[in-house]
């Protein structure tokens, strides 16, 4: 089976140049660190566009496929512009994500709004911007959305998000499809929801079902199991209510290669499995071939991103670990602290060095748990060396914080030897920009 970009540990343009430095997108990482400072997020445009095309090719045999980038993985104006130019839609989960893709010029008919507790203002925004689909998560939202749509004299095009009762073997915090989940309608609640839509909520139009199993999925059986349940429900709802649902959204979650021990399936393997299963259930349940929607996020953006840090202090624990500290950590990449996530890294400026040592990469933040990488073999390190952590495109900047009142890093896009800022580094003035001292305290 053909490899796809999500199976690579590094951006596809990564190489060692004549100076012995790592280069990505034709840009020397040491030069990037000098020019833009560190910590620095770097996104390789070639890798990003390649994975978009991997997905399009992998599902080309089912022409009713719609690939919608899960914006929560990384949502910036420039990234949205690139994704839109590749013809993908967007799965969004907040008013901020919706507004970002809207201002980037995305086709809003190819946007879905998802989430378990959407606000009144967000639902208003969705209807005002003519977002293509709203995935309704619960009975409260059904009522609220109908009320808002009625006030605007509009019909809201919706999917019902369901919990199909499937668990994937990933971290419990990123499982979403099992029965004990905060997301979606239980299968026993679908009929009540459909009855409300048919009989009371006249400003809602139901098009299909939506489910999402989880994230960083390596199991190839998960998606066929999900499709089986959804197709069976569509056939059952047609028989019981005479309702013809023609859309199936199976979510996303395909994994990526963070370390050498990770072995995610390729988009091509997943594409073949999903299409074969879809064709099977279409025949067995005698349903019309549905529009198929997928929501890859991590597997679209993760591999294209790296983070650069500068090595600072170090500490050798007697008869213990050697800690090497960097100028970033859990505020710009909280995943190791949250999920015990693992990463692979290299020193960008010592690729021709043979001597190595085993070190633990520690962050700069005031938490003992701020450890980026436990026990990694790297060249002998000096203060000022640049470390490149791979596969940080997803859920790094999007989950970043100002913990310890530290400014968020800049982000650059690299392509064909050019680097361009797509997110400015925060300043100290940015940190206090929204602070207000009441007048009584100034006296």
pLDDT digits (tens, 9 = 90+) for 103-144: 999 999 999 999 999 999 999 999 999 999 999 999 999 999
Residue 70: the pLDDT is: 98
CATH number at residue 375: 2.40.37.10
Q: How far apart are CA 50 and CA 29, in angstroms?
A: 21
Task: Show the tokens assigned to 102.
Answer: 């809207």
The closest alpha carbon to 73, from 100, 50, 55, 53, belongs to: 100
Same domain, 374 and 249: no
Annotation says 366 is catalytic? yes
On whether residue 97 sits in a domain, the answer given is no
Question: Nearest-CA neighbor of 183 among 113, 111, 252, 114?
Answer: 114
Q: Are 218 and 328 members of one domain? A: no
* Domain end among 240, 261, 296: 296
Mean pLDDT, residues 331-341: 95
Last residue of a domain, one of 296, 331, 347: 296
Q: What does each C-alpha distance from 306 to 14, 24, 172, 184, 346 come to in angstroms? A: 11, 9, 26, 34, 11
Do residue 137 and residue 280 come from a single domain?
yes
| pLDDT tier for residue 390 given thresholds of 50, 70 and 90 | very high
pLDDT at 174: 37
Same structural domain, 292 and 308: no
Query: In this structure, are 141 and 233 located in the same domain?
Result: yes
Residues 313 and 268 in one domain: no
Cα torsion through 8, 9, 10, 16, rounded to 10: -110
Tell me: do 338 and 240 sit in the same domain. Answer: no
Domain-embedded: residue 361: yes
The active-site residue, picked from 27, 52, 366, 388, is 366
Is residue 387 included in any domain, yes or no? yes
In a domain, 76, yes or no: no
Is 220 a residue whose pLDDT tops 50? yes
Q: What is the pTM of this model?
A: 0.94
Residues 287 and 340 in one domain: no
> How far is it, in rounded angstroms, from Cα 252 to Cα 243?
26
Q: Please, what is the angle between helix 95-103 and helix 120-128, to 10°?
A: 20
In a domain, 258, yes or no: yes
Q: Where residue 155 falls among pLDDT bands split at 50, 70, 90? A: very high
Residue for token digits 């999925």?
A: 217
DSSP state of 9: S
Residue in the block written with tokens 């990037």: 32
Q: For residues 399 and 310, state if they share a domain.
A: yes
- Mean pLDDT lowest for which of 166-180, 231-245, 361-375? 166-180
Residue 102 placed within a domain: no
CATH number, residue 196: 3.20.20.10
Same domain, 157 and 288: yes
Last residue of a domain, one of 296, 321, 343: 296
Is the residue at 425 inside a domain? Answer: yes
Task: Give, rounded to a whole angstrom, the gap between the first and last alpha carbons of the chain.
Answer: 72
Quick one: 338 and 399 in the same domain? yes
**Together in a domain, 324 and 288:** no
**How many domains in the chain?**
2
- H helix runs in 135-266, sequence order: 139-151, 190-199, 222-241
Q: Let me know if 228 is exposed, middle or buried by CB neighbors in 10 A (0-12, 13-18, 19+).
A: middle
Angstrom distance (rounded) from CA 224 to CA 228: 6
Average pLDDT of the residues in 37-58: 98
The domain of 286 spans 114-296
With bands split at pLDDT 50, 70 and 90, how would you rate the model's confidence at 352? low
Residue 184 pLDDT exceeds 70: yes
In a domain, 64, yes or no: no
């Amino acid at each position: 089976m053909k490899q796809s970009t999500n199976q690579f540990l590094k951006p596809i343009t990564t190489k060692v140049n004549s100076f012995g430095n790592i280069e990505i997108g034709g840009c020397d990482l040491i030069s990037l660190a000098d020019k833009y400072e560190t910590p620095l997020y770097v996104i390789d445009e070639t890798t990003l566009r390649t994975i978009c095309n991997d997905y399009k090719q992998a599902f080309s045999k089912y022409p009713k496929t719609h690939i919608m980038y899960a914006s929560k993985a990384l949502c910036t104006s420039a990234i949205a512009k690139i994704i839109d130019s590749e013809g993908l839609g967007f799965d969004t989960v907040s008013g901020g994500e919706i507004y970002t893709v809207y201002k980037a010029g995305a086709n809003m008919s190819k946007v879905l709004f998802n989430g378990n507790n959407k606000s009144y203002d967000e639902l208003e925004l969705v209807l005002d911007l003519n977002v293509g689909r709203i995935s309704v998560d619960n009975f409260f939202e059904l009522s609220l959305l109908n009320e808002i749509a009625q006030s605007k004299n509009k019909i809201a095009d919706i999917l019902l998000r369901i919990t199909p009762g499937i668990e994937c073997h990933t971290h419990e915090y990123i499982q979403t499809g099992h029965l004990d989940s905060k997301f979606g309608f239980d299968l026993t609640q679908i009929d009540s929801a459909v009855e409300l839509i048919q009989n009371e909520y006249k400003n809602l139009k139901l098009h299909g079902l939506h489910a999402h199993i989880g994230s960083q999925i390596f199991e190839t059986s998960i998606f066929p199991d999900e499709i089986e349940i959804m197709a069976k429900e569509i056939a059952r709802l047609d028989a019981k209510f005479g309702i013809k649902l023609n859309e199936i959204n199976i979510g996303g979650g395909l994994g990526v290669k963070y370390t050498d021990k990770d072995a995610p399936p390729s988009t091509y393997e997943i594409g073949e499995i999903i299409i074969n299963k879809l064709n099977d259930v279409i025949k067995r349940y005698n349903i019309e071939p549905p529009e198929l929607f997928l929501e890859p996020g991590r597997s679209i953006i993760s591999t294209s991103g790296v983070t650069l840090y500068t090595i600072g202090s170090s500490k050798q624990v007697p008869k213990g670990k050697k800690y090497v500290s960097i100028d970033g950590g859990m505020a710009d990449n909280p995943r190791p602290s949250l999920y015990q996530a693992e990463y692979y890294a290299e020193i960008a400026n010592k690729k021709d060095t043979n001597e190595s040592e085993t070190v633990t990469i520690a962050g700069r933040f005031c938490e003992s748990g701020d450890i980026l990488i436990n026990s990694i073999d790297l060249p002998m390190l000096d203060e000022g060396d640049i470390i490149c952590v791979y596969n940080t495109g997803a859920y790094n900047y999007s989950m970043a914080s100002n913990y310890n009142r530290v400014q968020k890093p800049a982000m650059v896009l690299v392509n064909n030897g050019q680097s361009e800022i797509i997110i400015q580094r925060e300043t100290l003035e940015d940190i206090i920009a929204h602070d207000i001292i009441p007048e009584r305290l100034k006296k």
